[in-house]
Amino acid sequence: MPETDGYHVDDFLILPGQWRPQCPWEHIAWISPPWRSQYYLWLDFPEAIFCDQGNLFLSHLNEECPALFPNLPAVAWSAAPSGLSVTRRLPNDVVFQAAIAQCGADAIRLELTIHNESGRPLRELHIQTCAYMRGIMEFSDLTNDNKYVYSARPGWVPIGELDAGGRQSADATSLTAIATVSREADRLVAMTWFEDTARLWANPKHPCMHADPRCPDIPPGERARMTGALLFFEGTIEEATDWFRTVHRPGRPDDDVEPPAPGHAEPSGGRETMADAEKLERIMALDNEVQAQVLEAALNERGIPHIIRSYYDSAYDGLFQAVEGWGHIEAPKECADEIRRIAARVTRAADKASRADSDATPANESGDALS
């Protein structure tokens, strides 16, 4: 149980939550800030998954966009390292997994993976995630005046400057994060999917903010993984500009601003020159070092130009890898489809080998696998 005096929470906590008892299929996590606060924000994760087939999942009821599969059963969160995870299989065999984990003293890592095990491609995917802050009173005002969005130039700007009135939104690729500032102190909570942020918006009728991730089309048998973060900062919104640049995902600088590079580049067999590197673009994320090594060997064998970039930085003790993932691969744009096909084959081969190893593991008399 959290340290509390009946009104305040003193710990940085992630707990299974509930918002709407009439919607047992929702996936709500309660997250308290690292400072002394009034209870929790409610993370609705995911709130909705739309595609060309319709509304695959909706955490609540909405007559204007009903879900394809209403009245789903409840699926409980499971304990995971430093946080929670949940996996749901929809009736059409689309599976999504949401994971939330504390990362350092002021960050929560968000990861959403969608596996398309159906026989149809998933196209035009749009995913909504919501941070609802009614439970933390310093952020709970029904207004957009306390909402800011981040762009490399000039930094954090009021969300109201983007659109006039009503529900403001922004689809510009230079916008990567949204923040709500406290009415009580110089501090804020921010939400981002880094360079994979597709949309930022807020609704003045509710104390919430939305950062929605960009998701590619997913063919049958393939998957997509998105990584973002909830970030907590103590300081002014002006000070938060320099702060956010230090945690901004490397590899694709916004405009002409060069963010600090928390990772390092590993050239592919020494074939890349600086001139070559300037022609490369980010192709896909890498989950771990083993995947990077296997994929690099396959690409080298085929003579495909590329650079593997790791996000590890000893100065930050692996913070960026904990928030961002292991790293990513860069290559010429015309090689993107081939690299993704090779990566998919590598992943399937690794999964098949892992299942074979599991099947071959001896068991004791009770049927339990022996370690």
Q: Decide which of 247, 277, 305 is a domain's last residue.
A: 247
- Domain assignment of residue 252, yes or no: no
Closest CA to 153 of 296, 47, 256: 256
List the domain range (segments joined by +) for residue 73: 14-247
pLDDT at res. 365: 37
Judgement on whether residues 280 and 329 belong to the same structural domain of the protein: yes
pLDDT in tens, 207-242: 999 999 999 999 999 999 999 999 999 999 999 988
pLDDT at res. 366: 35
Higher pLDDT, 247 or 350: 247
pLDDT at res. 370: 30
Q: Predicted confidence band at 350 (pLDDT cuts at 50, 70, 90)?
A: low
- Domain assignment of residue 160, yes or no: yes
Percentage of the chain surpassing pLDDT 70? Answer: 75
Higher pLDDT, 273 or 15: 15
Structure tokens at 219: 């063919």
- Domain assignment of residue 4, yes or no: no
Are the C-beta atoms of residues 148 and 156 closer than 8 Å to each other?
A: yes
Judgement on whether residues 148 and 202 belong to the same structural domain of the protein: yes
Judgement on whether residues 203 and 350 belong to the same structural domain of the protein: no
CA–CA dist 61, 133 (Å, integer): 20
Judgement on whether residues 22 and 130 belong to the same structural domain of the protein: yes
Q: How many domains does one find in the chain?
A: 2
| Average predicted confidence (pLDDT) for the chain | 77
Judgement on whether residues 30 and 174 belong to the same structural domain of the protein: yes
Start-end of H helices in the chain: 237-247, 274-277, 289-302, 319-324, 336-360
Greatest C-alpha distance within the chain: 69
Judgement on whether residues 105 and 243 belong to the same structural domain of the protein: yes
Judgement on whether residues 216 and 335 belong to the same structural domain of the protein: no
Binning the chain into helix, strand and coil, the percentages to the nearest 5 are 20, 35, 45
- Domain assignment of residue 8, yes or no: no
Q: Decide which of 220, 247, 274 is a domain's last residue.
A: 247
Structure tokens at 208: 């919430």
Exposure on the CB side of residue 140, measured as CA atoms within 13 A: 12
- Domain assignment of residue 3, yes or no: no
Judgement on whether residues 61 and 198 belong to the same structural domain of the protein: yes
Distances (CA, A) of 90 to 23, 222, 286, 288: 16, 16, 26, 28
pTM: 0.65
Judgement on whether residues 270 and 315 belong to the same structural domain of the protein: yes
Closest CA to 323 of 190, 182, 151: 190
Q: Decide which of 247, 276, 293 is a domain's last residue.
A: 247
Judgement on whether residues 159 and 40 belong to the same structural domain of the protein: yes
- Domain assignment of residue 123, yes or no: yes
- Domain assignment of residue 371, yes or no: no
- Domain assignment of residue 1, yes or no: no
Q: Give the CATH number, domain containing residue 312.
A: 3.30.70
Tokens 């064998």 — which residue? 301
Q: Give the CATH number, domain containing residue 47.
A: 2.70.98
pLDDT over threshold 70, residue 280: yes
Judgement on whether residues 312 and 178 belong to the same structural domain of the protein: no
pLDDT at res. 3: 44
Judgement on whether residues 65 and 172 belong to the same structural domain of the protein: yes
Closest CA to 197 of 173, 163, 179: 173
